[in-house]
Structure 1
């Protein structure tokens, strides 16, 4: 009986430590619908946000604050602070060794988006430098441009996606590098017509994940991954997909 009690107390102590560790993390995100964005009251919402809430529940962790920041700011904090989680982060080859990863949240197709009236179509990445391309600063789309040899003088950086869309519409940029879902969502949010835009080129398809600072303990990463895997296998997640990613 005494041995059982000691083991039970040790188990409770371990669980409390695990919860405390997960509770120490700083959760950051950006405006990137339908995965993460602000609702009408300015509160974080979206598929990734609700999925994170399921992860907390599966881990026995109390809900934590989520800060919505410009992507470049959140990305910078992820590289500089020891207990940051940034989502939804594209797991690109260039980023692979910079962070620790828990996946997947979903998948994103990264594209060059143009105005249909301009009728721009690219067949190879070496054609990109002929054009001025807007992109969110430090976003995966911007990094894909640079990784594919794009002249950085031709990239017009924005802090937020809606700013990058406005650069395209105003003619300041010829093309917009963006995630496909987020790009078209931003167009609708700005009261523009999606049919007036076209995909000039597909850059890549990348997995969206929770990216953790390298200093986060591996045991913590494993607990988070286990909780995420359980969430993804649930009926509740299927409802989330239907809610935020309805089949046309």
Structure 2
């Protein structure tokens, strides 16, 4: 069979096209292997080394959950970027993007179908705090009805109380809520049992907050977007399980006690 010879220029063009396609595939694969992990300033679980409410790299972020996530990521062959941003911003940003995750995210029934989950990492105790000189006493959560509670936008505890019909004053972050208690702008502050006293002292020099009620405990996870490849999620879960089995997660928790 006679076949027209392929010209050198055509052959070169075809080779260039193949190389371009391969490069594109390689770039796509590389992009798929990069994870974008977000967290918030929520000491002692997540904290910026600088003491500010944001950070641009993993070396600038520490804390119980952060160190657990780092131990997990050290066991997988994925490139990743870790940043600290405001919770409400990161929560919305992560849901809409492939290979994006957010920690420490409380895993609740309301959030179950919004993410894919890797964990558990640590647990938070949903606590109502009063000012040091307050005489408020609570036996049940219902006793808090009629009281003004300080919370913040996107926080699972704050949103739960709003859904239950409590009066919650929402801010963009929880950092100022201890001060609002002392100034009489709120009767109670809903936050984690470890976070409240630590933030109050470090941010405002306030000590002696009164934990008047612990009304729930919830495990926290790394929440990954629904568009992230389930194989990536499974890799991360295996890595976290291996870190836990090796005693690394217990060692992290012990460092912060």
Common fold by TM > 0.5? yes
Deviation at residue 35 of structure 1 after TM alignment: 1.5
1-structure distance, mates of 2:30, 2:76? 7
TM-score, length basis structure 1: 0.82
Question: Which residue is equivalent to 1:237?
Answer: 249
Q: Which runs of 5+ in 1 are unaligned?
A: 1-16
1-structure distance, mates of 2:149, 2:158? 9
Q: Which has the larger radius of gyration?
A: 2
Q: Deviations over 1:149-177 (max 9, x none)?
A: 134xx211122221222222221111001
Q: Provide the aligned C-alpha RMSD in A.
A: 2.2
2-structure distance, mates of 1:232, 1:20? 28
2-structure distance, mates of 1:197, 1:57? 38
1-structure distance, mates of 2:138, 2:187? 12
- Cα gap change, 1:119 to 1:19, in 2 (>3 Å): farther
2-structure distance, mates of 1:198, 1:53? 33
Q: How many pairs does the alignment contain?
A: 224
Q: Deviations over 1:58-88 (max 9, x none)?
A: 11234x2211111111112133333320000
Q: Which runs of 5+ in 2 are unaligned?
A: 1-27
Check whether the contact 2:131–2:210 (CA below 8 A) recurs between aligned residues. yes
Deviation at residue 115 of structure 1 after TM alignment: 1.3
Deviation at residue 22 of structure 1 after TM alignment: 4.0
2-structure distance, mates of 1:119, 1:18? 60
Check whether the contact 1:27–1:85 (CA below 8 A) recurs between aligned residues. yes
**Mapping for residues 95-174 of structure 1, pairs under 5 Å:** 95-147=111-163, 149-151=164-166, 154-174=167-187
Check whether the contact 1:71–1:136 (CA below 8 A) recurs between aligned residues. no
| Structure 1 residue 35 corresponds to structure 2 residue 52 | no
2-structure distance, mates of 1:181, 1:77? 27
2-structure distance, mates of 1:18, 1:183? 43
Give the structure with the higher percent helix: 1
Check whether the contact 2:180–2:186 (CA below 8 A) recurs between aligned residues. yes
2-structure distance, mates of 1:139, 1:19? 34
| Structure 1 residue 182 corresponds to structure 2 residue 195 | yes
| Structure 1 residue 21 corresponds to structure 2 residue 37 | no
TM-score, length basis structure 2: 0.80
Check whether the contact 1:19–1:59 (CA below 8 A) recurs between aligned residues. no
- Cα gap change, 1:117 to 1:176, in 2 (>3 Å): same
- Cα gap change, 1:220 to 1:18, in 2 (>3 Å): farther
| Structure 1 residue 50 corresponds to structure 2 residue 62 | no
